[in-house]
Structure 1
Amino acid sequence: MAQPQPAELEISKHVPIDDVPALNSYEEEEEVDHAYLAAPKQTRIFRGVLLQMILLGALSFVGPSLADAISGLGGGGLKDPDLANLARALSSTMTCIVTLFGGPLINKIGIKTACVIASFAFFFTGSGYYVNLKYGVQVYLVIARVIVGGSNGFLYVAESTAMLSYPRFQDRGTYISIWSAMRNSGGIIGGAIILATNYKTSGAGAVSAATYLIFLGFEASGPIWAFLLSPTKKTRRPDGTKIPTSKEITWKSELKALALHFRHPRVSFTTTRLQLHAFVANTDSCYLPNFTFLATHFSVRARALASFLGPTGAVCTALLFGRFLDSKRISRKVKIWLGKTLVLVPQLASFIWVGIEWNKYPNKVALDYDLSRSTWAAAYLGQLLMHCSGFCFQVYLYWILATFSNDLKAASRIGGTFRAFECAGQATSFDLVSKYPRALKTFYFNASLIVHATIFMIILAKSVPETPAEVDDMVRGLDQVAEDESVESKQ
């Protein structure tokens, strides 16, 4: 009896190869650019992958990272966190909508253009919180967060595409961790600013208005870093090779390729689970209830110190974890399973820790490291552990996603799809904690989901191929799309 053939093979049998353009073929072979290797050192640095990672990190530094530093205060540093959490929920919703179509957008306009678009909206974050705190204009804060959410969608897909495709496979752990460290450096600087401007405030309430003005200065520098980026076609790896990129296709084909991604078993099965895991373990959403916990149970200066210590610890652990993922002394199979253990065990432990501490303080208090150091430490260290392990999870997840394909356009599609699901989890999480009485219940809900997410992460780890594909393996059969377009154009 004849064996049933996969749909991809059936398509290839019925489509004449000579009549269909190879949409998964490369524009140029992956060959060494000797002109680049012979160029002056400053040119090699300017066009090199390392500088592109640093510049992308700088963009995250002055954009999402400083926004996270404000969120790290608990409720955006406002006395009442409800409005800030609602604004973040709307912002994440807008980001989700943009990233949903991020793959086709990045493939058509390019990584640099997407980053330039995003950079011009960074200043809305600080200005929104400042205007609300200074003048009580809440509408502007909400509108500002919506604008930033939409523009951040461009940056999120652009940076995820670069993370997944720019470095060589054996170096991706290190480069991803460098980007993650740069992204957290904004939190360190922002946390230091917050601590310096609020260290005298031992009671509860809102942070100093001057805090947001300093943030505005950093955010306004975003376009500088974006314009310094090199276009992908001019970017080179350390060995002189170009970034593997498949041929250009039409908008219609891009949308059909995106649809094929959503229908692919790997995405339909694993990305939904990644959203679930992002909801409980991603760096921006795993401790969202803790943001409310900080706002309602810690003094202003204790929250300011937390916004400094969290990113500092995350930078150190992320860099070490990235070096571990690129270690040549450990087999890839061992790194996959050991890395997952190093991420999930601290996550589970921190959830238990924070849950115990939260139940100790059902009502609003203002825990302070100077007034009661041991009590403050016991309440905060669990959240610090969750923060550090959350960023290690981010590095690990990007590293896993990078194992499936080397193609830039494939990276943009999978990166956009993942960030869309991730942002959906964030939006849901912020919405659930927009009212304090529900925050503790949300925490318990997260804790129950992390058990299921752990199971699905094991399934994802088992699906990792031996070597990355050189094409977008999810759109094999897209040649039929090109034939359909060719027929339609002739009619």
Structure 2
Amino acid sequence: MARLRYHGPLAQVLIISFVCFLCPGMFNALNAMGGAGQVDRTVSNNTNTGIYCTLIVFGVVGGAIVNLLGIRWTTCLSGLTYALYTSSYIYYNHTSKGAFSMATGPILGIGAGILWSAQGMVMMSYPEEHKKGRYISVFWVVFNLGGVIGGIVPFAINYHVGKGSSAEPLPDASYVAFVALQVAGALCALALSPPSRVIRSDGSHVMLMRYTDVQHECLETLRLFRNPWMLLLLPLSLASNFFYSYQYGPYNGALFTLRTRGLNSMLYWAAQMAAAWAVSYLHDHQAMPRRTRGLLSLAVIAALTNAMWACTLAVQLRYTKGPDAQHPQGDYPGGLIDFSESPRAAGPMLLFCFMGAADAHLQSFAYWLIGTLTNDSQMLARYAGFYKGMQSLGAAIAWQLDAHQVPLVTQLAVNWALFNFAVPFTAWVAWRIKSHRDEVEDQAADDWLMDPDSKHL
């Protein structure tokens, strides 16, 4: 790994990684338990829908906001919106009124859109081309460490309740711990260096200073919707967060006891860390052309994801709903699963880890693929924002499917079909990526029709 310099790419990627580790990482850990730690998933589903509806807009415009206002304070203030969201569940624990939680959803959506645009810019534009896969994996490992620690918190706090207390919400102490960690993460953002001061190990500057203003950023944002690369990646963007609502609620939240859900969350994100690190060796394997690496990585994702959904279907056919006030043990044969029931718990728990590994490979691949289209930090901030915005559109739809109690097997089928619909469009982009590109060269719009490495372009 490169020597750590404060104004070097690695240090900056690590800083943004710790921001995400403590802010969205804790958010992910909380939601991975199903219902954000609540028994009734209705408030969480509606809140998450509000988050992702706002994120659709602010994901797309987030890159423009970061380009105009800079990265430090925009990211810091964005991180605080995660703490506001989590604190709302303390109020809900005491009042059973979900209005406050649902009101924090759109606020978090604004913050998340800006934060993820900044994150995408740092992760994809700061490294040299042959190190992008490695730096993406560094981010994903540190970021998902938040999910691991976030899973440890409720597991440790609730371990003593045993498997008898299945239909109980997270206690206040768990939420307070999450809030404290998220505030710390927001403050970490103040250590970020402006892109204009970041210098790579080879002496090249990350950002060539160019003038930008509100009008220019608005025009560039609108152009994203007719950019052939973004349109081809639209199905992948829609699919890439769609499955979270099913995996967190109808699977983890419906099948396991409270303490086991915390343990599962920890193992889910640990599997993500391992998978993200492993796939970086493929993405940066210089002995293979970049096009070959992209197509091979996509083929592995397709095989793993289809195997995952096939196994999930086998489990899903054994139950129809999760626990509720009238049926605290749900309708899975034998009741809710506790990790102490080893023979019964091993398969469903390993499958949840498999889901995490498949997700990490998919997300790492998506960012790596987008990072092959240009090295321009301003353009990549916009690309990252578009990806996150369209990703959030899919997530908003998915959370509403569960909120409206769409049959769980139908939710699974929609997830499975949407992923496979995205594969051929994504394969086309991987087939057309260029082997190497200049510092701020964008993948030409016409390259989607012609071989980008052709001498006749």
Alignment TM-score > 0.5, same fold? yes
- Cα deviation code 1:408-455 (max 9, x no counterpart): 111112111111111111111111112444333111111122221122
Map of 1:65 onto structure 2 = 25
**Per the alignment, in what secondary structure is the counterpart of residue 47 of structure 1?**
coil
Map of 1:106 onto structure 2 = 66
Map of 1:383 onto structure 2 = 352
Please tell me whether residue 347 in structure 1 is matched to residue 305 in structure 2: yes
Structure 2, unaligned runs of 5 or more:
322-329, 446-457
Structure number with greater Rg is 1
Please say if residues 374 and 442 of structure 2, whose CA atoms lie closer than 8 Å, have aligned partners that are also in contact. yes
Map of 1:411 onto structure 2 = 380
CA–CA distance in structure 2, aligned partners of residues 321 and 95 of structure 1: 28
TM-score normalized by the length of structure 1: 0.83
- The one-letter code of the counterpart of 2:425 is F
Map of 1:80 onto structure 2 = 40
Change (3 A) 1:471 1:328: closer
Map of 2:452 onto structure 1 = none
CA–CA distance in structure 2, aligned partners of residues 455 and 332 of structure 1: 18
CA–CA distance in structure 1, aligned partners of residues 229 and 378 of structure 2: 17
User: Following TM superposition, by how much is the alpha carbon of 1:246 offset from its aligned partner in structure 2, in angstroms?
Assistant: 5.4
Map of 1:48 onto structure 2 = 8
Please tell me whether residue 290 in structure 1 is matched to residue 250 in structure 2: no
User: Following TM superposition, by how much is the alpha carbon of 1:231 offset from its aligned partner in structure 2, in angstroms?
Assistant: 0.9
Choose the corresponding residue for 1:272, options 234, 240, 257.
234
User: Following TM superposition, by how much is the alpha carbon of 1:135 offset from its aligned partner in structure 2, in angstroms?
Assistant: 3.0
Count of residues in correspondence between the two structures = 429
User: Following TM superposition, by how much is the alpha carbon of 1:120 offset from its aligned partner in structure 2, in angstroms?
Assistant: 2.6
Change (3 A) 1:97 1:370: closer
CA–CA distance in structure 2, aligned partners of residues 327 and 466 of structure 1: 12
Please tell me whether residue 235 in structure 1 is matched to residue 198 in structure 2: yes
CA–CA distance in structure 1, aligned partners of residues 441 and 290 of structure 2: 22
**Per the alignment, in what secondary structure is the counterpart of residue 6 of structure 2?**
helix
CA–CA distance in structure 1, aligned partners of residues 225 and 285 of structure 2: 33
- The one-letter code of the counterpart of 1:406 is N
User: Following TM superposition, by how much is the alpha carbon of 1:158 offset from its aligned partner in structure 2, in angstroms?
Assistant: 0.5
Map of 2:260 onto structure 1 = 302
* Greater Cα shift, 259-268 or 165-174: 259-268
Map of 2:180 onto structure 1 = 217
* Greater Cα shift, 73-82 or 231-240: 231-240
TM-score normalized by the length of structure 2: 0.89
CA–CA distance in structure 1, aligned partners of residues 97 and 22 of structure 2: 24
Change (3 A) 1:436 1:374: farther
Please say if residues 351 and 382 of structure 1, whose CA atoms lie closer than 8 Å, have aligned partners that are also in contact. no
Please say if residues 238 and 395 of structure 2, whose CA atoms lie closer than 8 Å, have aligned partners that are also in contact. no
User: Following TM superposition, by how much is the alpha carbon of 1:335 offset from its aligned partner in structure 2, in angstroms?
Assistant: 1.4
CA–CA distance in structure 2, aligned partners of residues 474 and 260 of structure 1: 14
Map of 1:15 onto structure 2 = none
User: Following TM superposition, by how much is the alpha carbon of 1:345 offset from its aligned partner in structure 2, in angstroms?
Assistant: 1.1
- The one-letter code of the counterpart of 1:148 is L
- The one-letter code of the counterpart of 2:289 is S
User: Following TM superposition, by how much is the alpha carbon of 1:400 offset from its aligned partner in structure 2, in angstroms?
Assistant: 0.7
CA–CA distance in structure 1, aligned partners of residues 59 and 225 of structure 2: 13
Change (3 A) 1:456 1:119: same
Map of 2:82 onto structure 1 = 122
Please say if residues 47 and 105 of structure 2, whose CA atoms lie closer than 8 Å, have aligned partners that are also in contact. yes
Structure 1 runs of 4+ with >4 Å offset: none
CA–CA distance in structure 2, aligned partners of residues 183 and 107 of structure 1: 23
User: Following TM superposition, by how much is the alpha carbon of 1:378 offset from its aligned partner in structure 2, in angstroms?
Assistant: 2.0
- Cα deviation code 1:378-412 (max 9, x no counterpart): 22322321211111111111111111111111111
CA–CA distance in structure 2, aligned partners of residues 53 and 447 of structure 1: 33
Please say if residues 47 and 236 of structure 1, whose CA atoms lie closer than 8 Å, have aligned partners that are also in contact. yes
- Cα deviation code 1:440-477 (max 9, x no counterpart): 3111111122221122221121121222354363799x
